[in-house]
Copies of this chain bind each other. A is one copy, B any other.
Amino acid sequence: MITVDQLAKLVEGVVEGDGSAVITGMAPLSSAVKGDITFALSEKDFMAAVDTQASCVLTTMGAPALPKTLLRIKNPKTAVTILYNAMTEIAPPPEGGVHPSAVVSAKASIGKNVSIGPNVFIDDGSVIGDRSVIEANSVIGKGVKIGEGVRIAANVTIYKGVKIGSKVIIHAGTVIGADGFGFITKDGRNYKVPQMGAVIIEDEVEIGANSCIDRATFGDTFIAKGTKVDNLVQIAHNVNIGRNVLIAAQTGIAGSATIGENTMMGGQVGIADHAKVGSNVKLAAKTGVSGRVPDDVTLFGYPARDARETKKINGLLSLFARNASEIKRLIRGTMANEPEQKD
C-alpha cells in the first residue's frame, strides 16, 4: 500500500490534490481504473485525463490544472520508470494455481502462490519458488531450480539442471540450456563434444523473447545479477557475464567469452569465442569484437576499434570516394603493381 505523497517523494514530484489517496496499480489512460496512477504527458493526454477514473495523474510541471489529484514531475520517463518499479515491489502476489491441463511431475516441488498455465510441463525434481508464474505451453526440464517471483512467459523451454534466481523475467520462446555448439573434426567426421555443464542465471536478470542461452560444456554458463538481455540474442556455452550488463537484440556472444560489469552492447554485436571484454565498455551496434577489450572504452566497427578511430577512418573513406579518380591515378603513376593502361 502506497500513497500519492509517498510516490511523490520517490520521484521528487509535486502533489496537487489528495496526497493521502492510496495507489494500488499503474496503467495508461486508455485502461486506468480507480486506485491506479496514470500519466498525461502530452496536449492530447491532458484532454483525455479529464475523464479518467484513475486516482492520480502523473503529469508535467507545465500541464494545465485538472479536476484530479496530480503528481507533477520534471523528467517524465525516469519518474514513470521509478514508479513502475516501486509498484512492482508492492504488487500483491499472484493468486496462484495450477491449470488442470498442465502436467506437473509429482516429484517437482511447487512453492506458494505459484501460477502454472495451461499445457505447461514441469519435469521431475524441478523446484519452483513462491509467487513465480509459468505461462502457457512452457516446458521446465528435470531438476531445474527457479527462484521466487520469477515470470516465465509462454512457449519457453528450460532444459534440465538450469538454475534461475529470483525476480527473473524470461520472455516467450526463449530456450535456456540447449547444448553448446562444439564438434571435433576427425577423419572427415564431426564428433559432438559432450555438453554436460549447466546454466546459472542470478536474481533480477531479464531475458527477451526467442533468445538462446546454451549450457556449458563442463562447468556453467553464467549471467550475473541485474543483467538484461534483449530478443534473439545468442549466449554460447561457458560464457560468463557480469552484473548489470545490457545486451541489445540479435547480439551473439561466442563460447567461453567473458564480459565485465555494466557493459552495454548495441544490437547485432558479435563477440568472438574466448574474448575478454571489460567493465563499463560500450559496444556500438554491429560491432565485431575479439581478443581483449579493456575497461571503460567505447568501440565501434567491424573489426572493432576505438569509436573515434572508426569515425576518423569513415571520414577518410568518404574523402577517398570523392577523389577516387585522382587517388587511382596517383597510385598507378607511382607504383609498380598498377600499370596505367589497366584503367
State whether the Cβ of A46 lies closer than 8 Å to any Cβ in chain B. no
Shortest distance from the beta carbon of A247 to any chain B beta carbon, whole Å? 9
Shortest distance from the beta carbon of A78 to any chain B beta carbon, whole Å? 6
Contact yes or no, A119 B103, CB < 8 A: yes
Q: What number of copies of this chain does the assembly contain?
A: 3
State whether the Cβ of A99 lies closer than 8 Å to any Cβ in chain B. yes
CA distance A270 to B252 in the complex (A): 14
Shortest distance from the beta carbon of A342 to any chain B beta carbon, whole Å? 10
Interface residues of A in 62-81 (CB under 8 A from B): 77-78, 80-81
Q: Chain B residues near A336: list those with CB within 8 A.
A: 326
State whether the Cβ of A48 lies closer than 8 Å to any Cβ in chain B. no
Contact yes or no, A155 B155, CB < 8 A: yes
Q: Chain B residues near A272: list those with CB within 8 A.
A: 266, 285
Q: Choose one: B84, B154, B250, B316; the contact of A321 (CB below 8 Å).
A: B316
| Size of interface on A: residues with Cβ below 8 Å to B | 113
State whether the Cβ of A147 lies closer than 8 Å to any Cβ in chain B. no
State whether the Cβ of A149 lies closer than 8 Å to any Cβ in chain B. no
CA distance A196 to B54 in the complex (A): 16
Contact of A192 with B81 at beta-carbon distance under 8 Å, contacts A137-B139, A181-B230 already known: yes
CA distance A194 to B85 in the complex (A): 8
Q: Chain B residues near A103: list those with CB within 8 A.
A: 99, 101, 118-119, 136
Contact yes or no, B82 A191, CB < 8 A: yes
Q: Chain B residues near A288: list those with CB within 8 A.
A: 268, 285-286
Contact yes or no, B335 A246, CB < 8 A: no
B-contact bits for A140-169, CB 8 A (1 contact / 0 none) = 010000000000011111010000000001
Contact yes or no, A190 B228, CB < 8 A: yes
CA distance A288 to B270 in the complex (A): 14
Cβ-closest 8 pairs across A and B:
A157-B172, A84-B194, A175-B209, A139-B154, A178-B209, A212-B231, A121-B136, A181-B230
- What are 19 sample pairs from A and B whose C-beta atoms fall under 8 A apart? A28-B218, A39-B218, A119-B119, A137-B139, A157-B172, A159-B172, A173-B210, A173-B212, A178-B209, A185-B244, A185-B246, A188-B262, A189-B244, A250-B270, A254-B267, A267-B270, A286-B288, A319-B327, A322-B338
